[in-house]
Amino acid sequence: MKSSRREFLKVGGISSLGLLAAPTLANTIYKVGNSKDRKKVIIVGAGLAGLSTAYELTKTGHDVVLLEARMQPGGRVRTKRSAFAENFYVEEGAGRFPKSHNLTMRFIEEFGLETTPFYPQSGNLVTYVGKTHLYNSYAEQRNMAKVQLPFTTVERQSGEGGLFEKYVRPTLNQLGDITNRDWLSSDLRALDQLSWTEFLRKQGMSDAAIRFFNVGAININDGHEISALWLLRDMLSGGKKYKIKGGNDQLPRAFANRLAPSIKYGKPVKRIEQFEFGVEAFFKTEGSIGSVRGDYLVLATPFSVARRIDIPSLSKSRRQLISGLTYASASRVTLQFDKRMWEGNDLNGFATSDHPLQTWHPTFDQPGSRGILQAYIRLSLSRQLSGMSEQERVLFTLSKMEEIFPGLKNNFEGGSAKCWDQDPWAKGAASVHSPGQLTMFENAFDEPEGRIYFSGDHLSPWPAWMQGALYSGLDTASKIDSL
Ligand SMILES: Cc1cc2nc3c(=O)[nH]c(=O)nc-3n(C[C@H](O)[C@H](O)[C@H](O)COP(=O)(O)OP(=O)(O)OC[C@H]3O[C@@H](n4cnc5c(N)ncnc54)[C@H](O)[C@@H]3O)c2cc1C
Distance from the CA of 95 to the center of ligand 1, in angstroms?
12
* CB of 402 closer than 8 Å to CB of 321: no
Distance from the CA of 232 to the center of ligand 1, in angstroms?
22
**Which residue lies with its CA nearest to atom 4 of ligand 1?**
94
Contacts of 247 (CB under 8 A, 6+ apart): 79, 81, 89, 91
**Which residue lies with its CA nearest to atom 14 of ligand 1?**
94
Distance from the CA of 204 to the center of ligand 1, in angstroms?
37
Distance from the CA of 77 to the center of ligand 1, in angstroms?
6
**Probe target for ligand 1 pocket from 68, 76, 91, 248, with the most ligand atoms within 8 Å of CB:** 76
Helix, coil or strand: residue 147: coil
What pLDDT is attached to residue 2?
27
Ligand 1 atom with the shortest distance to the CA of 101: 11
**Which residue lies with its CA nearest to atom 7 of ligand 1?**
94
Distance from the CA of 114 to the center of ligand 1, in angstroms?
21
CA distance to 188, 189, 250, per residue, from 439 (Å): 9, 6, 36
Give dist(CA 60, CA 483) in Å, integer.
13
What pLDDT is attached to residue 37?
82
> What are the pocket residues of ligand 1 if the criterion is a CB atom closer than 6 Å to any ligand atom?
44-50, 67-70, 75-77, 93-97, 268-269, 300-302, 305, 309, 330, 420, 425-426, 429-430, 456-457, 464-466, 468-469
Phi-psi region of 311 (alpha: psi -120 to 50; beta: other; left: phi over 0): beta
The residue ranges of DSSP E strands in 295-380, in sequence order, are: 296-299, 327-328, 330-337, 347-353, 357-360, 371-378
What pLDDT is attached to residue 286?
86
Using the 8-state DSSP alphabet, how is residue 383 labeled? H
Give dist(CA 196, CA 213) in Å, integer.
12
Helix, coil or strand: residue 432: coil
Ligand 1 atom with the shortest distance to the CA of 469: 26
Exposed, middle or buried, 159 (CB in 10 Å: 0-12/13-18/19+)?
A: middle
Q: For domain 40-76+249-326+429-481, give its CATH number from 3.40.50.620, 3.50.50.60, 3.30.870.10, 1.10.10.10.
A: 3.50.50.60
Distance from the CA of 296 to the center of ligand 1, in angstroms?
22
DSSP state string for 264-303: E-S--EEEEEEETTEEEEEEEETTEEEEEEESEEEE-S-H
**Probe target for ligand 1 pocket from 301, 376, 476, with the most ligand atoms within 8 Å of CB:** 301
Taking the CA atoms of the chain, what radius of gyration do you get in angstroms? 22
* CB of 213 closer than 8 Å to CB of 160: yes
Distance from the CA of 73 to the center of ligand 1, in angstroms?
10
Question: pLDDT tens digits, residue range 379-438?
Answer: 888 999 999 999 999 999 999 999 999 999 999 999 999 999 999 999 999 998 889 989
**Which residue lies with its CA nearest to atom 38 of ligand 1?**
425
DSSP state string for 121-134: SSSEEEEEETTEEE
Q: For residue 446, give the amino acid letter.
A: D
What pLDDT is attached to residue 219?
59
Instruction: Tell me the H-state helices in 101-152.
Output: 102-110
* CB of 150 closer than 8 Å to CB of 206: yes
Ligand 1 atom with the shortest distance to the CA of 376: 1
**Probe target for ligand 1 pocket from 106, 240, 425, with the most ligand atoms within 8 Å of CB:** 425
The residue ranges of DSSP E strands in 17-96, in sequence order, are: 40-44, 63-67, 79-80, 90-91
**Which residue lies with its CA nearest to atom 20 of ligand 1?**
466
Regions of the chain short of the pLDDT cut 50: 1-32
User: Domain locations in the chain?
Assistant: 1-30+156-239, 40-76+249-326+429-481
Give dist(CA 34, CA 98) in Å, integer.
32
> Strands of 97-98's sheet, edge to edge?
97-98, 241-244, 115-117
